[in-house]
Amino acid sequence: MPDRPPETTSGAFLEGERIAKYLASAGLASRREIERYILDGRVMVDGVKLETPAFKVTGQERILVDGKPVARPTVSRLWRYHKPSGLVTTNQDPDGRPTIFDMLPGDLPRVLTIGRLDLNTEGLLLLTNDGGLARALELPSTGLQRTYRARAYGRITQPDLDRLRDGIVVDGVEYRSIRARLERSVGANCWIELVLTEGKNREVRRALESLGLKVNRLIRVSYGPFELADLAPGAVAEVSPADLLAEVGEMIAPERRPDPSRPVRALARSSGAKKDAERRVSRDDRPKAGPDRNARRPLRKR
């Protein structure tokens, strides 16, 4: 049987927190991904390769992932990112398609996405350096609303859309209540606002397809209290520590709570992201939103 780090190593086997949770909190990857790293032999603690994700650490150990040291978790931070259509929400894509991480500013620290947006969905994607916060914000039990604007081919009436309020089952998959509001019809298309709390894979598209519509553009405009507002396609903006604490402070571990007085600085913008975004989204067809007040306070859906 392979060796494991000794139980006397900082008392890690007897106290502390599980290595997968610790590394996820450090923004390395999700807990599930960390567990796969361990099973693949990619994680070492104090010179010994781990064989189980049940091992606990206190933060005093020397931890290596793929031979590189892992820094201690820092204070929690959160960014809003306007994801353009055509980018994959993964670190690497086996098909070689561009990912959001190819387009993010180079001075952005290591981050995780909070949920995902599929290839052809654009709009608000939250990024964080805190795996625990990411998990908390993703859980359906948290009840955070996600708001989308969908352009769909076909005709629909408000009573038809109201059928989604009771939840639906599509191809054996159950979707909870969706509040949908017909905004307007333009030619053969219609614009619809949808509010949901689950965010299952392709939920909006499948829900509208069940009503005979074909979604040809989908934009997420808010996630919980945070809104896209007029954040430009491809741009990233940090939520201030004060606003982060005010909105989701109860979801942040005490040791990771930020200083509310810390100012935020603007990030450099990737020229590739700017060019890609401007090619995909015309000025006249961007999501409708008011002034971007997120620089002072994240907007909350009432």
Active site residues: 118
234/217 Cα distance (integer angstroms): 17
For residue 25, the SS3 value is helix
Long-range contacts of residues 46-49, Cβ cutoff 8 Å, at least 24 apart: 46/5, 46/6, 46/9, 48/3, 48/4, 48/5, 48/6, 49/2, 49/3
Rg (CA), the chain: 21
What CA–CA distances, in Å, run from 159 to 181, 191, 202?
A: 10, 15, 23
User: In the numeric block, which tokens belong to residue 78?
Assistant: 């959160």
Q: What order do you get walking across the sheet with 63-65 strand by strand?
A: 48-49, 43-45, 63-65, 68-69
Would you state the structure tokens that stand for residue 38, as one six-digit string?
Answer: 């361990």
